[in-house]
Amino acid sequence: MDDISKKINAYVVASAKAKGALEKEHGVSLESLDIQTALQHVLHPASDNPAYLLDYDLTSERIIELLKDYDFRSHKPELLATIELEESLIPDGMPRLLTEQTIKAGGEVWRIHKNDADPFPSVPHAHNLETGAVMHLGTGDLYDKNRKVVKNIGCKALLDIRGKLAKFALPETACR
């Protein structure tokens, strides 16, 4: 196993160990992405790239110490829906986050929150758990962490996704 794989595995184990203690202390349900985002805010707020976290060789104890006063609730929007897609919309080569997620084989998991702190790119919008990409639910544009359009999923895929969210107020779309 190469050095980067060892660092990723160590981070995932430490984060998972810290998760229970942080949930109990803060009284909130957390996911590995919540812990990663909080660590980014605490250790390097100006960076959108979580890879630098590996350089800290974080232990579960250190993660708990760093995040003991972190306000997770302010960054935990109400979840409207989680949708799973059979075919991937993410373009090849888009970097993956350091989080460990369970996804359907060949598919993806997207989350849509009601009160996301950041209204970009639409209200509401979808978050891809594996890549950190966000999707405009009116145009179908996919954005990377730098807010750059990487792809448009097309009307057919967008209407399929919107169909799974029919009970929610969604942005206007030109797709019919």
The b-or-e profile of 12-24 (16+ CB within 10 A means b, else e) is: eebbeebbeebee
Q: Largest alpha-carbon pair distance within the chain?
A: 52
pLDDT in tens, 90-145: 888 776 554 433 333 357 888 887 767 778 899 888 888 778 899 999 999 999 98
- Kindly report the pTM of this predicted structure: 0.50
Backbone φ and ψ of 126, nearest 5° = -105, 140
